[in-house]
A = this chain, B = another copy of it.
Amino acid sequence: MRRALLNDIFVSIADRGRALLGLPDDADPVDLAGSLCAKLVSERGEASGTALAREIVARYERMDEAGRLRFLAILATRYAPDPDAIRAAAEAYGRTSDFADYMALSRAVEPPRQELLRRINMAPGGTAAIVKMREHLLQALPTHPHLEPVEADLRHLLGSWFNRGFLQIECIDWHTPAAILEKLIAYEAVHAIRGWDDLRRRLARDRRCFAFFHPALPDEPLIFVEVALVRGMSAAITPLIESPSALIDEPAADTAIFYSISNCQPGLRGISFGNFLIKQVVSDLSREFPKLMTFATLSPIPGFRAWVERRFGEGAPDMLAASDREKLREATGRPASKGLVKALLADSSWIRHPALNAALQGPLMRLCAEYLIDVRGKEGPADSVARFHLGNGARIERLNWLADVSAKGLHQSYGLMVNYLYDPADIEANHEAFVREGRVAVSPAAARLRTKPTKLRGRALRLIGRETLVA
């Protein structure tokens, strides 16, 4: 049984359609695309709908940035709802509360743009083109706020079309087509993949990589996660991403470490699949490897250093315990102070001095625990990665010293990384506590790192079989 997207079959009639439309090939492509759109929505039947949609997609693909902006502006202006019609319909509904009048209002409110986009979607490659449109639009939006209504419609449609019920999960390995593998190299956003040999290591038999796909974008991963099967919870990133690292026999593994999650399609920003992907991978791996006991991330803390630096500026206390002060004094020959710490942390040379290194570990770990557990922005935890995992029902399990000493790791978080634990037994309760009460799940050990451990005690939450502190 041959299965082919209807798209790639309808070529010849569509080509004929193109001729039928009598389009001059040298007209301004944006004007032409605009005329085609007009024709496409006006069509009462659908005989030439696909041909028109194909033309629009083909022309959009060949537009430069200026052209795309003009095209998006056409969408914004010509296909906006009619305010007078809305007002008239609203008035009629206000009088009658009739279902018929409600439907008339509903139709008046829905921008014609949505139907236009649904028809463009019929073309071969239509969905991909619409995802690209939103990518371009999101780039332009800050400087072109009048495109906001178009963005609202794109987000609405793509949100509906990329509903989780339509997504497919795939396990990606060295038997995956190269056309998909090269996308991983391109899209990896956390720990760069340095070519095909590096990629092969990340797909070796002690690794797993899972991605979501949508049937209309068969070669395009939407999001993917890289997993290492290891013994014990990983405390540093280098052993996981260095290419010639030793393979572990996967049957010996007791822990799955999610060490990289990358969104692939800027045009789908805000239509999130990540939480869903992680939980599914936990479920999938549990069945493949019944001996896996722990599912955790090894995550960056992208906002930590910036927060520390702001904090230094704000006159916050110095976080130094007596023992830290002693170590600092010994390592530097100078009296310990916030100023000294700030000076030391200004560059990364401390990392190469064992004594300094040892002296700074205490204060930085303590600051980091505070940052992750207690610091909130308007959308929840200040750190974006923390926000994602805690919102998914994970808990802050362990902070890791010298876990990522790459330039990027030092720049983001003084080399610290954190494990978020996904315990299937606690995910739901953690999530509920987080969503309803803003409480953050923390392991006792991580909680103890903070400066004010006494405050914690009364809020310990006992869950089935595992002590979790909810801060």
Copies in the complex: 4
User: Assuming the A-B contacts A2-B170, A109-B109, A275-B46, are A13 and B282 also in contact, with contact meaning beta carbons closer than 8 angstroms in the complex?
Assistant: yes
Contact partner, A424, options B6, B16, B50, Cβ 8 Å: B16
With A1-B175, A216-B165: A46-B276 Cβ-Cβ less than 8 Å: yes
Q: A48 contacts B90, CB within 8 Å?
A: no
Residues of A139-192 at the interface with B, using a CB-CB cut-off of 8 Å, are 148-149, 152, 157, 160-161, 163-182
Q: Would you give the shortest CB distance from A380 to chain B, in whole angstroms?
A: 11
Distance of A435 Cα from B282 Cα, bound (Å): 49
* Residues on the B chain within 8 Å of A200, using CB: 178
- Whether, in the assembled complex, A279 has its beta carbon less than 8 Å from a beta carbon of chain B, the answer is yes
Q: Which residue of B is nearest A159, CB measured?
A: B118
A431 to B20, CA, bound (A): 12
Give chain B residues whose Cβ lies under 8 Å from the Cβ of A102. 81, 86, 109, 149
- Closest B residue to A166 by CB, please name it: B216
Which stretch of A283-291, A366-374, A405-413, A447-455 is in the interface? Answer: A283-291
Residues of B within 8 A of A276 (CB): 6, 46, 50
Which residues of B have CB within 8 Å of A167? Answer: 6
B126, B182, B283: the one contacting A9 at CB < 8 Å is B283
From A91-99, A305-313, A325-333, give the one contacting chain B. A91-99
Using CB atoms, name the residue of chain B closest to A282: B13
Q: Does A17 contact B (CB under 8 A)?
A: yes
| Complex CA–CA separation, A424 to B204 (angstroms) | 32
Interface residues of A in 77-133 (CB under 8 A from B): 81, 83, 86-87, 90-91, 93-94, 97, 99, 102-103, 105-106, 109-110, 118, 121-123, 126-127
With contacts A122-B164, A126-B165, A215-B215 taken as known, whether A283 is within 8 angstroms of B12 at the C-beta atoms is yes
Q: Does A378 interact with chain B (Cβ within 8 Å)?
A: no
Which residues in B have their C-beta under 8 angstroms from that of A213? 3
Q: Which residues of A (393-448) have their CB < 8 Å from a CB of B? A: 393, 424-425, 427-429, 431-432, 434-436
The answer to whether A47 and B164 have CB atoms under 8 Å apart is no
Are the C-beta atoms of B163 and A160 separated by less than 8 Å?
A: no
A123: chain B residues within 8 A (beta carbon): 165
Q: How many residues on chain A are close to B (CB under 8 Å)?
A: 99
Q: Shortest Cβ distance from A29 into chain B, in angstroms?
A: 21
Contact A93–B86 (Cβ < 8 Å): yes
Known: A121-B163, A165-B123, A215-B168. A424 touches B46 (CB 8 A): no
Bound-complex Cα distance A102 to B167 (A):
32
| A5 at the B interface (CB under 8 A) | yes
A48 to B434 alpha-carbon distance, docked (Å):
13
Closest to A13 in B: B283
Cα-based distance from A287 to B87 in the complex (angstroms): 53
Q: A10-B280, A46-B275 are in contact. Are A3 and B431 (CB under 8 A)?
A: no
- Complex CA–CA separation, A196 to B45 (angstroms): 38
A4 at the interface (CB under 8 A from B): yes
Return chain B residues, CB-CB under 8 Å to A247.
Answer: none
- A94 to B91 Cα, complex, angstroms: 9
Interface string of A7-31 (1 = CB under 8 A from B): 1011111001100100000000000
On whether A178 and B174 interact (CB within 8 A), knowing A46-B275, A275-B47, the answer reads yes
State how many angstroms separate the Cβ of A451 from the closest Cβ of chain B. 30
Is the C-beta of A267 less than 8 angstroms from some C-beta in chain B?
Answer: no
Is the C-beta of A392 less than 8 angstroms from some C-beta in chain B? yes
Q: In the complex, which of the residues B3, B109, B174 contacts A168, with contact meaning CB atoms closer than 8 Å?
A: B3
In the bound complex, residues from chain B placing their C-beta under 8 Å from that of A275 are 45-47
20 further interface pairs, Cβ-Cβ under 8 Å (given A121-B163, A178-B200): A1-B170, A1-B171, A1-B180, A3-B169, A5-B169, A9-B169, A9-B280, A9-B284, A10-B280, A10-B283, A13-B283, A45-B434, A46-B275, A47-B432, A86-B93, A102-B109, A121-B164, A175-B177, A178-B196, A215-B215
7 contacts between A and B (CB under 8 A): A1-B176, A6-B168, A11-B283, A47-B431, A87-B90, A122-B163, A168-B215
Chain A interface residues (CB < 8 Å from chain B): 1-7, 9-13, 16-17, 20, 43-48, 50, 81, 83, 86-87, 90-91, 93-94, 97, 99, 102-103, 105-106, 109-110, 118, 121-123, 126-127, 148-149, 152, 157, 160-161, 163-182, 195-196, 200, 212-213, 215-216, 275-276, 279-280, 282-284, 286-287, 391-393, 424-425, 427-429, 431-432, 434-436
